[in-house]
Chain A
Amino acid sequence: MDSKGLMMKGISMIFPGVKALDGIDFSAKKGEVHALIGANGAGKSTLMKILSGVYVKTSGEIFINGQKLDIQNPMDAKKNGIVIVYQEVDTALIPYLTVAENIMMDYLITEQKSLFIDWRKIQGEAKEAMNKLGLDIDVNRLVSNLTLSEKQMVLIGRAVFHKAEYLILDEPTAPLSVEETDKLFEIIEKVKKRGVSVIFISHRLDEIFKICERITVLRDGKLVGDYDIKTETIDTIVEKMLGRKLESTFPKHDIKVGGKIFEVRHISGDGGINDVNMHVNAGEIVGISGLVGAGKTELMKLLFGASKRYEGEVAIHGNMIAPKTPAAAVRKGLALVPEERRREGIIVQESIETNATLPTLKKYCNGAFMNRSLIKKSSCETIELVGIKAPNEKVPVSKLSGGNQQKVAIGKWIISDAEVFMFDEPTKGVDIGSKAEIYKLIGGLVAKEKGVIYATCEFSEILGLTDRVYVMYNGTIAAELITKNTNEEELLRYSTGGGRDE
């Protein structure tokens, strides 16, 4: 093997109780675009965070051009020419400073020695960095006025200015439109020609085949292999990502599926949701599958009236409803258990009782006045029903475990009169025991002939729990599948933009 370039050897990373990475080898040659892929939780981000100094590896070695490196923090990584651009570009930029100041930020902080700032130099060098990439962003503009894709360009420009030799792009295309993605690829080509090696993390396999030369596949924290892209196809890569199939232990529900109770026609709206059609029958669990960033959460928010709808129709029992606010959606019989539990699902400093009776509070009131004993009774029933482990109903939700918090977030809706229940990643960050209980609760809902929409990026959940599944890709439905006739390969193929020719 050629000693030019970057080499990571036998990298392991142990978090308390979890072995996130297990003896990974990874290499990137000068001037190549190298894809790093794997399912969610495979360890891609962990590996890159080790390389960029965010995490310190448990064991293993890192070499650049045959020389061993000791990366302890992000500064060490930068000194060695390793720069990472995260998907959340805003975390690395200061919005009320100009493009030039943002590009030159590190210079201003660490190298600027004199008391006064030489603005002409700052602007000149920033412009030069942008020119090298063939970009025509005015360096005097404020970063807050840039689009997301322009912000990415600024970060890549900053990397070029720092003479980065290894540029890590962590899912850069997830929030971009097709045109913006093409523009990004042009820039990646330019950077590559300058001899920079680009490590490209993406869930979208078609893109990887467009711009990458080599591909490294991880699965469950282990290395699957390092391949030349020319010898592979989307299907072979999908197979490598998945490995063996997981047998799941989902409660089998045998509910007769009834008539259509919820229908969505040609809905488009905020978050890049474009022309989605779907329906839910009574007693049916409908899955929304797709990778992170496919638009599942955005679709749920849109259906629930929590984000702006441009066009399209939503109907319950054939009656048109057009929820402009979540309050209206709730009145019409929708319920949403949102993904971000602590930020959106529960009010952490309040008690279980307060949280559990929040959407249904009107039921426990005489006129304007709350009936305290009714509220207490109802919340105790909810605690019993969804199996929340807590000493009493007055305990603040912040004192509960993640799984129990999630049960509160679910429980507050279970007792409502909603017809259609939407769940957005309800088992995220929940322990296995609670997971099974949550599945059981959802089974209980369909037994009462309610409709359930279940969004998740875990294919095993889709296959184990749902009756029918819509696969999302890039803000729209890529496929509608009957769960028992499909498998992980097919789900993954559709969610990575493959299989559209069929």
Chain B
Amino acid sequence: MNKLTNGSVLLGSNRKFDVFGFLYKYGTIIVTILAIVYFSVSIEHWFTFGNMTNIFRSVSIVCLIALAMTMSLTVDGFDLSTAATASFAAVIAAKIMIIWQLHPLLAVLLPIAVGCMIGLMNSFLIIKLGISDMLATLSMMFVITGVSITFQQGSAIYNYMPMLEGGVAPGLMSEGFKAIGQKELFEIPIPVFIMLAVAILVHVFLNWTKYGRFLYMTGGNVEAARLSGIPTSKYRTLAYVLSGAIAALAGVVLCARLGSGEVDSAGPYLMDAVAAAYIGFSVLGAGKPNAFGTLLGALLVGILMNGLVMMSFPYYSQNIVKGVVLILGLGLTYYKKKG
């Protein structure tokens, strides 16, 4: 009897391990497919071109911010200031056109330059001063949000906004700029193209260039990387600068979509972006931050939210689903790591 139980336990654990290995690699993808199938069957007109582009568009900002976080995660860092950077970038872009009446191209370039500067400041705090990444970027998140709201004098910046000194705002947000966030190409929204382009760029950068490899190595074991002759401080700085730049790009797209520079417009995306980046760890068994995983993570969250809304799932309960999906993704990644 004893022997029998023993044997079956062994068999069970063996089989469970195989299943786990499979889940580890394809679990996230399977969940995504299951979600799509489930919603397609149970909701009429869910699986349509229109709704699919809708989902992609809805996740594009989150995904860009998540890609920014992915950069800092590659060096085993963490950048909580991404969403604040995006909000700030959106405000700068709006102010450049509506108040200062400068060229729309500057409304794209200047916010990204500011994003790079924020990345430099983050890396100064983390590398030179030695503040832990989470706390340094948390502090920066407060500072940037505060600076941003001060910069916009406490209110959103939009076309024909009334000015404190009387009259209305002199400039207009250019139509060309707004196209970044609002127009479509082949019936697909432009933000979706931007999201996919950045995801591909990040993927190529991380997997096909030496810089990407050095970033991963720095994240994998900073001391071993340093003693292999990699200037680890430079690469950690690079990761935060790229994080700031991509976050700022997300802000520019957001500004174009809203047609205005709102107060803390990207703030609500922060936690979804964190979730997407971490769910991405588990995609295809990567076990580490990666662009494709982040993209899929963002899409998975977007699909679930979209489907649940259409099934009249109460909006106040949606966070439960997000949390559970994140737990599943992290569980797959870290349970494997332990073994």
Contacts and interface: CB of A to CB of B under 8 A. Distances in A.
Interface of A: 304, 306, 325-327, 329-331, 336, 338, 343-350, 354, 358-359, 361-362, 365, 368-370, 412
Interface of B, helix, strand, loop or mixed by DSSP: helix
Contacts of A354: 213, 217
Interface in B207-231: 208-211, 213-214, 216-217, 220-221, 223-231
Contact of A361 (B208, B210, B226): B210
Contacts of A359: 228-229
Nearest to A368: B209
Nearest to A341: B224
A358 B227 contact: no
Contacts of B223: 343-344
B208 A358 contact: no
A196 to B, nearest CB: 40
B227 A370 contact: no
Contacts of B225: 347, 358
Contacts of A370: 208-210, 213
B227 A306 contact: yes
Contact of A330 (B209, B213, B229): B229
B209 A346 contact: no
Contact of A326 (B220, B221, B226): B226
B231 A362 contact: no
A368 B211 contact: yes
A370 B215 CA distance: 14
Nearest to A412: B228
Interface residues of B, number: 20
Interface of B: 208-211, 213-214, 216-217, 220-221, 223-231, 287
A345 B227 contact: yes
Contact of B229 (A329, A344, A349): A329
7 contacts: A325-B226, A326-B227, A327-B229, A345-B224, A358-B217, A358-B225, A370-B209
Contacts, number: 66
A362 B213 CA distance: 11
Contacts of B229: 326-327, 329-331, 359
A369 B224 contact: no
- Which of B209, B227, B287 neighbours the largest number of chain A CB atoms within 10 Å of its CB? B227
A327 B230 contact: yes
B227 A304 contact: yes
Given A361-B210, A368-B209, A370-B208, A348 B221 contact: yes
A338 B225 CA distance: 12
A393 to B, nearest CB: 15
Given A343-B221, A350-B217, A369 B227 contact: no
Contacts of B208: 369-370
B213 A344 contact: no
A354 B288 CA distance: 15
Contact of A368 (B210, B221, B227): B210
Contact of B230 (A344, A346, A358): A358
Contacts of A336: 227
Given A327-B230, A365-B210, 18 more contacts: A306-B227, A325-B226, A325-B231, A327-B226, A327-B231, A336-B227, A343-B223, A344-B224, A347-B221, A347-B224, A347-B225, A350-B216, A350-B220, A354-B217, A358-B230, A359-B228, A368-B211, A370-B210
A331 B208 CA distance: 23
Contact of A338 (B210, B216, B227, B230): B227
Nearest to A301: B227
B44 to A, nearest CB: 47
| 4 closest A-B pairs by CB | A330-B229, A327-B231, A347-B220, A368-B209
Contacts of A325: 226, 231
A444 B149 CA distance: 65
Contacts of B228: 326, 330, 358-359, 412
